[in-house]
Amino acid sequence: IEHLAERHDEPLHPHQREAMLTTDGPLLILAGAGSGKTRVMTARTSHLIRELGLSPRQIMVVTFTTKAAEEIKHRLARQLPAQQARELVAGTFHSIFYRMLLFHQPERWDQQRLLKKDWQKWRLLRESNAMNMHAEIGPRKENEVMDALAVISRWKNEYLLPQQAGLREANDDAERLAQLLYPYYEEAKRRTGWFDFDDMLIGCYELLRHHPDILQRYQERITHVMIDEFQDINRIQYETVKLLAAPQNNLCVIGDDDQSIYGFRGSDPQYILGFTKDFPQAKTITLEVNYRSRSAIVGLGFSLIGHNRARWQKDCLSFHSEEGETYLFEPDDEEEQAARIVDEISHRIREGTPVGECAVLYRTNESARPILERLSEAGIPFHYSQEEESFYQRQTVRWALAYLRLSLDPDDSAALKEILPTLYISQEMWNAVRSQAILEDVPILHVLPGMNHWKPFQRKALKTITEILAACASCPPAQALELICEDGKLRDYLKKRAKERDGGRERWSEELQQLIAAAKRHDSVGGFLQYIDRMVQQEKEWREVQPLPGEGVHVLSIHRAKGLEFDHVFLPDLVEGSLPHEYALDAVRKGNNAALEEERRLLYVAITRARYSLSVGIPRERFGRKTRPSRFISEMGR
């Protein structure tokens, strides 16, 4: 905390001061990363309270991520008495809007439950049988429905209700299915008492639209509205804010169009770029000095983002004359990459860097796991999001591990039960085998081949797998996994299953490769399984016991790192398919570059989180496949 305190006492730049003092009417602060936008927002808030005598209850301060909201509250708590800091209306859109809804419509919102994840929505649809209700919808694959749900969410954020959405011309299959499912989805939620995140936004907008008395009370009470990270606002949020800020329009919006990274949620940088059209009387202030990053890091960021077409050109000077440190390193694979990152982090810590000033930022969670494991082996505490799905709980991984367990202990009935579907053996057949095994008093695996009424292919599959498992016990674990996947046909099964359920998405194959890569570090199956058990246990602890704030390395997705800063930033996996992500490359192949520009903005956000050093890993191989360095590397001027 001391570390932070110093930095906030530096004098404001004249442009920053001007922004702080401009308190009447609409104000746009448009500036690059690290230029002190958020600092201006907090300075402006405390100026309104301390110098102009406003009550904190009059000021609404909004941002986009919980982390950023915490950071702002934390900064303000240093500048204001605790009581006042608490009274501010500050937080994310969702938290502020949800509180309003609970207050005004408790009977509606208190009783309902929140659908947090896409798969929950998918289940709701399936259970309500909506997918089969309509001849046109018919039974659908999980991934098709997931894609359609993403479209529905985007529409809701654009305030397109089912009827209007249904009238639009659909651009692709996902949109066509979304048009069909949307009314059923809304109906299913209403009937079963669920709501989703988007409903909070729509609910709040409609609350204010349909209740002029409530709106008026808010308009009178809240005299100043400030929104950080305004580049990520979407239509429904913007419309609600406009209602609240009227009629005085003391609305201050702050952002950087180069950091717009929530396109998939309907956010649109056009709102920040078009703000002065909506509010012609708005004043615009730009900030041109980057106070955060050392000059070489600022240089990399600007060189990269200059490759985007759709952007507002801005200047950026580096406040610091030192260069800082930038590294590119090319490890053999993701495991070596993890080892090097963790070595470097322990080195920094030994040199005196506070642990909380090191951050590993990743594009997708696959990149995080090897690093988390190494950190944990090295005994370095870290902050890790509760929301990430556990690697070892994924179905593919559980199957592969169950096979390994069986190779050590043919009697492990839990493991055997787990793998039955992969051998096309049903629950009833399994029960019969179990009773037989109890009768004969032998391991289950031994009675299986004798089940004469089974189909020949099932008996054959079992015989093969029994032999393979026997051979596995004496192999090193990576080789055992290869045997199970190839000769044991697990790979064929997974491929087939993915085709049926997932439209052939290849996630399973990466998961297997990851597991095999981890197995390579162990000599015996037993040793590897013990290691996994430890990891599963540890993962549970990672989630339950987080270090105190600032006392662990931050391991987070780039999306969650927005607005934050760290002394040393590590970016693993700067390879094609990871960053830029495969989705974006797909879109480029279809002639659409917008997604690629968003990936570039993501990397720009990641680079500009660093104060002193930036280390970029480019593994030559990832999950057993050769890689190509990200196209962004050369665009960074390296």
**Contact residues: Mg ion, CB under 5 A:** 37-38, 563
The string over 127-165, giving b where at least 16 C-beta atoms fall within 10 Å of a residue's C-beta and e elsewhere, is: ebebbeeeeebeebeebbbbbbbbbbbbbbbebbebeeb
Nearer to ligand ATP, 287 or 516 (CB): 287
**38 is an annotated ligand-binding site residue:** yes
Q: Which does 7 bind (CB under 5 to 8 A by kind): Mg ion, ligand ATP, none?
A: ligand ATP
Nearer to ligand ATP, 13 or 568 (CB): 13
**153 is an annotated ligand-binding site residue:** no
Question: Taking CB under 6 A as the criterion, which residues in 283-342 touch ligand ATP?
Answer: 291-292
Nearer to ligand ATP, 162 or 299 (CB): 299
Q: Quickly list DSSP for 113-132.
A: EEE-SHHHHHHHHHHTTHHH
Nearer to Mg ion, 75 or 140 (CB): 75
Q: How many residues bind ligand ATP (CB under 6 A)?
A: 20
Separation of alpha carbons 106 and 115, rounded Å: 18
Q: Which does 117 bind (CB under 5 to 8 A by kind): Mg ion, ligand ATP, none?
A: none
List the Cα angle 356/359/365 in 5-degree steps: 130
Residue 260: count other Cβ atoms within 10 Å of its Cβ.
27
- The yes or no reply on residue 8 touching ligand ATP (CB under 6 A) is yes
Q: H-helix or E-strand containing 251?
A: strand 251-255
Q: Which does 36 bind (CB under 5 to 8 A by kind): ligand ATP, Mg ion, none?
A: ligand ATP
Nearer to ligand ATP, 29 or 200 (CB): 29
- The yes or no reply on residue 628 touching ligand ATP (CB under 6 A) is no
Chosen residue from 196, 256, 268, 597 binding ligand ATP by CB under 6 A: 256
- The yes or no reply on residue 269 touching ligand ATP (CB under 6 A) is no
- The yes or no reply on residue 67 touching ligand ATP (CB under 6 A) is no
CB of 30 to Mg ion, least distance (A): 12
Q: Are strands 317-318 and 625-626 parallel, antiparallel or unpaired?
A: unpaired
**32 is an annotated ligand-binding site residue:** yes
Q: Which does 214 bind (CB under 5 to 8 A by kind): Mg ion, ligand ATP, none?
A: none
Structure tokens at 620: 């030559």
CB of 64 to Mg ion, least distance (A): 10
Nearer to ligand ATP, 261 or 468 (CB): 261
Contacts of 356 (CB under 8 A, 6+ apart): 549, 550, 551, 552, 553, 554, 566
- The yes or no reply on residue 260 touching ligand ATP (CB under 6 A) is no
Q: Which does 599 bind (CB under 5 to 8 A by kind): Mg ion, ligand ATP, none?
A: none
**35 is an annotated ligand-binding site residue:** yes
CA distance readout (Å), 267 to 262, 490, 598: 6, 41, 12
φ/ψ of residue 82, rounded to 5: -55, -45
Q: H-helix or E-strand containing 611?
A: strand 610-617
CB of 516 to Mg ion, least distance (A): 41
3-class secondary-structure state, position 580: coil
DSSP state of 261: -
CB of 575 to ligand ATP, least distance (A): 25
Separation of alpha carbons 526 and 529, rounded Å: 5
Binding mask 24-63 for ligand ATP (x = CB under 6 A): ---------xxxxxxx------------------------
CB of 448 to ligand ATP, least distance (A): 60
**488 is an annotated ligand-binding site residue:** no
3-class secondary-structure state, position 213: helix
Separation of alpha carbons 303 and 305, rounded Å: 6
Nearer to ligand ATP, 17 or 620 (CB): 17
How many residues belong to the chain? 638
Question: Taking CB under 6 A as the criterion, which residues in 505-564 touch ligand ATP?
Answer: 563
Nearer to ligand ATP, 444 or 636 (CB): 636
Q: What's the chain's Rg over C-alpha atoms?
A: 27
CB of 255 to ligand ATP, least distance (A): 8
CB of 37 to Mg ion, least distance (A): 5
**203 is an annotated ligand-binding site residue:** no
Nearer to ligand ATP, 8 or 113 (CB): 8
Contacts of 297 (CB under 8 A, 6+ apart): 324, 326, 607, 608, 610, 611, 613, 614
Q: Which does 8 bind (CB under 5 to 8 A by kind): ligand ATP, Mg ion, none?
A: ligand ATP
Q: Quickly list DSSP for 350-385.
A: HTT--GGGEEEEESSGGGHHHHHHHHHHTT--EEE-
Nearer to ligand ATP, 92 or 143 (CB): 92
Binding mask 580-619 for ligand ATP (x = CB under 6 A): ----------------------------x-----------
CB 32 within 8 A of CB 256: yes
Contacts of 68 (CB under 8 A, 6+ apart): 38, 228, 229, 562, 563, 564
Q: Which does 356 bind (CB under 5 to 8 A by kind): Mg ion, ligand ATP, none?
A: none
Q: H-helix or E-strand containing 286?
A: strand 283-287
Q: Which residues belong to the annotated binding site for ATP?
A: 31-38
Positions touching ligand ATP (CB under 6 A) are 7-8, 10, 12-13, 16, 33-39, 256, 259, 291-292, 563, 565, 608
